Amino acid sequence: MGLSRRKFTREFKLAALRQWEAGASVAEVARTYEVSPNLLHRWQREFRDSPATAFPGMGQRQQAADRVAQLERKIGQQALEIDFLKGCLQRIEQHRQLQALSPKPLSTPRSKASGTER
């Protein structure tokens, strides 16, 4: 059974960054909070780039992106189905128009090889 990913709150990340900024070493903060030093560096970079929007929620950004991608795939599939059905309707309408103009039905005649004639 696979392990689930840990999710950290905004407050948790900010507390770890505050401790690091207060003078603790990266290794010490990583041990205290039981996270990878690389993760601390990533958190610091995200916070430095945009402090107001850093750490939006516990995994919500990825879930939202996955949901958007799923819905875009569904829209694309439905668009293909709609185009296919429109083409079918056009062919049916053309067939009906030809039948209305022709005195005989446009269906294929029965084969005389069956041995029964009417």
Q: What is the pLDDT along the chain (118 residues), one digit of tens a residue?
A: 567 788 888 889 999 999 999 999 999 999 999 999 999 999 999 899 888 778 876 655 667 778 889 999 999 999 999 999 999 999 999 999 998 888 765 566 666 665 555 4
pTM over 0.85: no
Identify the architecture of domain 7-58 in CATH: Orthogonal Bundle (1.10)
pLDDT at 65 (0 to 100): 77
AA letter at 21: E
Whether 48 and 35 have beta carbons less than 8 Å apart is answered as: no
pLDDT for 4 equals: 79
Of 7, 61, 62, nearest in space to 35 by CA: 7
Q: 42: helix, coil or strand?
A: helix
What does the block give as tokens for 70?
């799923």
